[in-house]
Structure 1
Amino acid sequence: GKMSSDRALRKQQQLNNLISVVTNLAKPGGIIVDFCSGGGHVGIVLAYTLPSCQVILIENKEESLVRAKQRCDELYLDNVWFIQSNLDYFTGPFNIGVALHACGVATDMVIEHCIKAGAAFVVCPCCYGFIQNTVKCSFPRSKQFNEVLSYKEHMVLCRFADQTAAQLPPERRLIGKQCMGLVDLDRAWAAEEHGYTAQITSMEPESCSPKNNIVVGVPSD
């Protein structure tokens, strides 16, 4: 795209982190869904890296999917499928769901969709301040958090989780990072209540994004 060199480097670092996790989970013949795929940065790299897997890009913006299709054609990739749709309309079977910086509650919808399909998930959340109750999801997500936090208190936690920008004072960013970790811990514990093994890791280097948590969930056998 038309990214600056600095932004392109950060995007590359983000992709390297996600692709590493997904590659360790993927099996030959598996189906990987890139939710909220945009122009296909994640999905196209996965398709190129894992030629034995099928990759489905789901995006509701036609322009983004057209751009993704052009990129796949240039790389002669034949293991990529394109679906223009909201993520919750997709009902096909799949093995791994991926989302890089799906905004706010979209991350929770991706996790919920993966759990219903019995699929693993690898998500890097974003825009915590946009999290709110919806028809699809309610907050807090886990029983443990519901026992100690009200909905309003959880929303305060989410708003503080967005205070991680590099230009903020270090002590404020630290609080933001801690709140971000708590929101994602709630997500991980909620997945574990559905029989998943879940963990939270961080993308490296931390400078690649102020929203650098990765939440990984794998259904238990």
Structure 2
Amino acid sequence: KMSSDRALRKQQQLNNLVALVRKLARPGDVIVDFCSGGGHVGIVLAHILPSCQIVLVENKELSLIRAKERSDELGLNNIWFIQANMDYFKGIFNIGVALHACGVATDMVIERCTKVRAAFVICPCCYGFIQNTAKFTFPRSHQFKEVLSYKEHMVLCRFADQTAVQLPPERRRIGKHCMGLVDLDRAWSVERSCSYSVQVTSMEPETCSPKNNLIVGVPV
């Protein structure tokens, strides 16, 4: 039901995530697609990595039903479905992935992965929804805490959401820069507190999504 233009952008997004996961994956790995929705990422991974086990974790029942129907049509036998908030997922796995994890959902996925020393490939989204919670306080890293207050970090997050294609180019450029700073804060926090090597990159082409950052972490 997607327009051809949106379908192309979705394909490009998937290509970016899948290529990175493919580099990290080893036969027998368990890969968890958090906030999996209708299974766009997880189903592709199950198809191209038949020697790996793919687990979709999603809170919405209808989305998982749709994902199950799609995987059944393809005859996939290396894919599992769990309806739950990711806080309730306690499994052991090797790689965590999430496409457009909104607000602190990105931080929740990172936490799930670092708890079990799993690598992660995450595309964040909805920076304007980031706020302090019982589990997470912002800024995340020691370096950012030294120069930014919580209020200033929230301003940074609001500007990070200013990347819509209909906005003026200069405003989008500033928004993209702010996205990079928010995700750099996340990356530095994980590197220091969890002994990970973390990179912040962009999906290609950048036109595939206004929210095109990728945070890739590997335990060291």
Alignment of 1:179-218 (within 5 A): 179-193=178-192, 194-218=194-218
Q: Are residues 1:129 and 2:111 paired?
A: no
Letter in 2 for 1:153: E
- In the alignment, the residues of structure 2 paired with residue 135 and residue 3 of structure 1 have an alpha-carbon distance, to the nearest angstrom, of 38
Q: Name the structure 2 match of 1:17.
A: 16
- In the alignment, the residues of structure 2 paired with residue 146 and residue 190 of structure 1 have an alpha-carbon distance, to the nearest angstrom, of 10
Residue 136 of structure 1: CA displacement? 2.1
Structure 2 alignment gaps of length 5 or more: none
Using the size of structure 1 for normalisation, the TM-score is: 0.98
**Which portions of structure 1, spanning 4 or more consecutive aligned residues, are displaced by more than 6 angstroms?**
none
- In the alignment, the residues of structure 2 paired with residue 95 and residue 62 of structure 1 have an alpha-carbon distance, to the nearest angstrom, of 25
Q: Name the structure 2 match of 1:107.
A: 106
Q: CA RMSD in A?
A: 0.5
Using the size of structure 2 for normalisation, the TM-score is: 0.99
Structure 1 alignment gaps of length 5 or more: none
- In the alignment, the residues of structure 2 paired with residue 55 and residue 141 of structure 1 have an alpha-carbon distance, to the nearest angstrom, of 30
Alignment of 1:147-158 (within 5 A): 147-158=146-157
SS in 2 for 1:192: helix
Q: Name the structure 2 match of 1:70.
A: 69
SS in 2 for 1:136: coil
Moved more, 30-39 or 129-138: 129-138
- In the alignment, the residues of structure 2 paired with residue 60 and residue 69 of structure 1 have an alpha-carbon distance, to the nearest angstrom, of 14
Residue 22 of structure 1: CA displacement? 0.3
Q: Name the structure 2 match of 1:169.
A: 168
SS in 2 for 1:204: coil
- In the alignment, the residues of structure 1 paired with residue 90 and residue 154 of structure 2 have an alpha-carbon distance, to the nearest angstrom, of 30
Q: Deviations over 1:177-220 (max 9, x none)?
A: 00000000001101101100000111011110010010000000
Q: Deviations over 1:79-105 (max 9, x none)?
A: 000000001110010000000001111
Q: Deviations over 1:43-65 (max 9, x none)?
A: 00000010000000000000000
- In the alignment, the residues of structure 2 paired with residue 70 and residue 136 of structure 1 have an alpha-carbon distance, to the nearest angstrom, of 35
Letter in 2 for 1:196: Y
Letter in 2 for 1:155: M
